[in-house]
Amino acid sequence: MAKALFPRAWVKKSFYFQARISCVRVKYLFLTWLTVLVGSWVIYVQYSNYTELCRGHQCKSAICDKYKRGIIDGSACVGLCDKETLYMGRCLSTSPNNQVYTGSWGDHDGVIRCKLGEVAHYELGEEPEPRRELPLFHTPTRGTSVEKFREMVFNHLKSKLGEQANLASLVSHILSVADGNRDGRVSLPEARSMWALLQMDEVLLGLLLQERGHSPRLLGFCGDLYMTERVHYGPLYGLALPWPLAAWLPAGLQRTMDQWFTPSWPRKAKISMGLLELVEDIFHGTYGSFLICDVKAAMFGYTDRYELRILDNRALVSEEQFARSIKELKCNVDADCTYGADCFSSCDVAEHRCREEPLKPNLAKACGVLKDYLLRGAPSGLREELERQLYACMALRGSAQMNMEHSLILNNLKALLWRQISHTKDS
């Protein structure tokens, strides 16, 4: 009887290894398939979100169509539509109806914003509908004189800012900005573009604030599309987390991470001086008083010279508009009298109406932002006095004596910081 070439035990072991290898292969193929499936789903969701949120091509197409038909005009129209020297870069949009992009225009680096009409949700691969026609560029009508347009702008500003002594000079400034081609006259398309821009409070407030350097400068516009300068350093802490990560991280960990990305203390003091100067300028400014109704570190940025900028002018509201809006609210408790994120008034329980006077001034809210920012890393000889003044500042409330107390605390804080940094190279 012939002897077996392979022992039976060896054959069994071989079959065992082959079966094991086959099992590993199946697991590997399954994991590969699962990875591809999950990755494809993530890419699909991200692309769907991007195509829904980022519709800059629609903005450009709609704006340039109206420009070429002679409906609108502005300083950026030639660069956007004719010479194509104005480019849209990275999409920053968080809403499909409010398009935001980084942009470049010649030597200028900026942020481009454009409004879209109501945008419905589209499935991947569907053709988007054209932009809905909005009656934005129908005013002023043909035949309107420049003087009539000047009167329209004056009345619009008066409704927003109330009776102010310097409104006439502001109107003249706005008309000079409206003259996009600098030919000494405002054409009907230019007037229509400026009128559309003035309907957006953030543009109007930007024009008011950029006079003192507290808002990014308006670089150009075409219709209701406009470009402002880009503020490269922001927010104050220098770290802007993506919103999914910011929502997931605990608040305490976020504050710790924020502190890792702050400038040196003398530079923080210089930036804080800029915030205090902003509060001072808008407390009783050239065109009335304004409230900051969303005060957080993410709302502020600064230049390479540590000049402060408000990154979103929608956080501001005139006291006139605040009083008009808040007194229309019905209330049972003070918590019902809220405007925006950080503007509050008290409730008149007998009348069930909110009072017009804000409870907390801008300075108190600004000091709340600066408390952690300035106290961390502060010189040991300064820390105790700085902490005392910041807490006194945060305790400010609206009252008949608020003007005097406000000015005193503001001046004391500025003097304290200036004494510490005036001899440094960052001053």
pLDDT (tens digit, 9 = 90+) per residue, 46-93? 444 445 688 889 999 999 999 999 999 999 999 999 998 999 998 988
> Which bin fits 184, alpha (ψ -120 to 50), beta or left (φ > 0)?
left
pLDDT (tens digit, 9 = 90+) per residue, 149-198? 999 999 999 988 888 878 899 999 999 999 988 898 999 999 999 999 99
Which residue ranges make up each domain of the chain? Answer: 55-116+138-230, 248-322+360-421
Strand partners, 262: none
For the chain, the residue count is: 427
Contact 83, 152 (CB under 8 A): no
Helices H / strands E in the chain, number of each: 14, 12
Tell me which fold the domain 248-322+360-421 belongs to: Transferase(Phosphotransferase); domain 1 (1.10.510)
Distances (CA, A) of 325 to 316, 318, 347, 386: 14, 11, 14, 36
Cα gap 175→165, rounded to integer Å: 18
Distances (CA, A) of 52 to 119, 157, 210: 8, 35, 33
Take residue 123 and report the two structure tokens written for it: 């499935």
Cα gap 427→412, rounded to integer Å: 18
User: In tens digits, what is the pLDDT along the chain, a chain of 427 residues?
Assistant: 444 544 555 445 455 555 555 666 666 666 676 666 555 544 444 444 445 688 889 999 999 999 999 999 999 999 999 998 999 998 988 788 889 999 999 889 999 999 886 544 434 334 444 444 445 788 899 989 999 999 999 999 998 888 887 889 999 999 999 998 889 899 999 999 999 999 998 899 888 888 778 889 999 999 999 999 998 887 787 666 555 555 566 666 666 666 667 788 998 899 999 899 888 888 777 788 889 998 888 888 888 888 888 988 888 898 888 998 998 999 999 999 999 889 999 999 999 999 999 999 999 999 999 998 899 889 988 999 999 999 999 999 875 456 778 889 999 999 999 998 876 665 4
Sheet with 353-358, edge to edge strand ranges:
338-339, 343-348, 353-358
Q: Peptide bond before 140: cis, by omega within 30 degrees of 0?
A: yes
